[in-house]
């Protein structure tokens, strides 16, 4: 192990221990480590943005003496200046123009993207399970495929109903027929099943990270014995 590798290893172990001190109720070392993370991450992010976005996309075109490239670069330059003005109290209102530009463009992308990339394929996939070639094998009905298709359709409708139900219950307590309450409960069961899987997934990822951190500390200690 080279000296630089050893130093980075020691730094890593020290920082890991500082984070784990949170378990014992410590806030100082935990705070130092998290603020160090924020500081280094912010510095690194600023560097990457300057060198990989601002310089090649904004500054370089401005160095062109003539041509459309130069004039086109004036638009983001103006929007950027308005944004920078946000740092000063008097410029807060000017900053809303570039933010509105971002919001509008991203909203338009979302309309096309969500429609073509999520809503249409997901709805078609749910309906596509009822295609005759999926449900029949020669002349025999495939009961497992039929049940699966029905279950998925019912589940998706019930989950969407929960969304609707939530919006309504926010507006005020509305008494619903038993039938609708039943659909809502089915939707909640499917949402619960998904959240259960997500919960285990998050715990699993966190557990892998915890085992990796502990393994490094144990490996480091065993280095000296």
Partner 1 sequence: MKRPLPLIVGVLSGLVVLAAMFFVPQGGSILATVLNWVIIVAGVALLVAIASLVLTHLRFIAKGKKGFLLSLVLVISFLATLIFGLLRGVDDPVFLEWVGAVIRPIETALLGLVALVMMSAALKIFRERGWSALTVSFGVSAIIFLILGLGFLQNLNFPALNEVITFVEGLPMIGARGLLIGIGIGLLMMAFRVLFGMEGSGND
Partner 2 sequence: MPPDLLLLRDQQDRASLLASLIEQEGRVTAGKQPSRKPSGRAGRLAVALLLLIGLIVSILIGPAAIPPETPKSIPAIALSDQIQALAENDQVLIVLDYQAATSRELEALAAPLLEQLHTRGAELAILTTQPSGLFLAQTLLAQAGLPEDTQVDYLPGSYLSLISQAVNPGISTTGGNPVKDLRSFKLVLLVSDSSDSIRGWLEQIAPWIGTLNFAAVTTQMEAPVLSPYFDSGQLVGYAAGIADGNIGVQSTFNYRAYRVGLLLMLVMLLLGMISKGEADAIRREEERSE
Pairwise CA distance, residues 215 & 203, whole Å: 18
Residues of this chain, 163-222, that bind partner 1 according to CB under 8 A: 163, 185, 187-207, 209-214, 216
Q: Which is nearer to partner 1, 139 or 171 (CB)?
A: 171
- Partner residues linked to 136 by β-bridges: 141
Distance between CA atoms of 23 and 177, rounded to whole angstroms? 49
User: Cα–Cα distance between 105 and 76 in angstroms, integer?
Assistant: 14
Residue 139 vs 152, nearer CB to partner 1: 152
Query: Does 157 help bind partner 2 (rule: CB under 8 A)?
Result: no
Name the packing angle between helices 96-114 and 68-84 (round to 10°): 110
Please give the span between the terminal C-alpha atoms of the chain, in angstroms, as a whole number.
16
In this structure, how many other beta carbons lie within 10 angstroms of the beta carbon of residue 184?
A: 19
Span near partner 2 by CB under 8 A; candidates 8-16, 82-90, 138-146, 200-208:
200-208
CB nearer to partner 1: pick between 139 and 144 = 144
State whether residue 139 is helix, strand or coil. coil
Q: Whole-number minimum distance, CB 138 to partner 1, in Å?
A: 22
CA distance 168 to 158: 15
Return the residues of window 51-90 that contact partner 2 according to CB under 8 A: 52-53, 56-57, 60
User: Which among partner 2, partner 1, none contacts residue 124 (Cβ within 5 to 8 A by kind)?
Assistant: partner 2
136, 141, 215, 223: which one contacts partner 2 (CB under 8 A)? 215
Q: What residues from 163 to 182 belong to the interface with partner 2 (CB under 8 A)?
A: 166, 169
Of residues 117-136, those binding partner 1 (CB under 8 A): 118-119, 122-123, 125-126
């Amino acid at each position: 192990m080279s000296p630089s590798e050893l130093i980075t290893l020691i730094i890593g172990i020290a920082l890991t221990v500082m984070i784990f001190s949170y378990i014992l109720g410590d806030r100082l070392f935990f705070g130092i480590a998290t603020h160090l993370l924020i500081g280094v991450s912010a510095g690194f992010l600023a560097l990457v943005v300057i060198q990989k976005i601002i310089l090649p996309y904004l500054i370089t075109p401005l160095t062109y003496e003539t041509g459309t490239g130069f004039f086109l670069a004036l638009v983001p330059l103006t929007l950027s200046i308005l944004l920078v003005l946000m740092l000063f109290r008097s410029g807060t209102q000017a900053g809303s123009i570039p933010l509105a530009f971002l919001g509008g463009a991203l909203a338009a992308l979302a309309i096309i993207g969500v429609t073509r990339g999520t809503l249409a394929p997901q709805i078609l996939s749910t309906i596509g399970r009822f295609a005759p070639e999926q449900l029949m094998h020669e002349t025999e009905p495939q009961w497992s495929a039929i049940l699966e298709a029905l279950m998925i359709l019912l589940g998706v409708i019930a989950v969407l109903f929960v969304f609707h139900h939530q919006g309504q219950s926010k507006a005020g307590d509305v008494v619903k027929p038993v039938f609708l309450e039943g659909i809502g409960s089915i939707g909640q069961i499917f949402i619960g099943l998904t959240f259960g899987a997500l919960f285990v997934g998050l715990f699993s990822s966190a557990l892998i990270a915890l085992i990796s951190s502990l393994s490094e500390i144990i490996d480091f200690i065993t280095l000296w014995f």
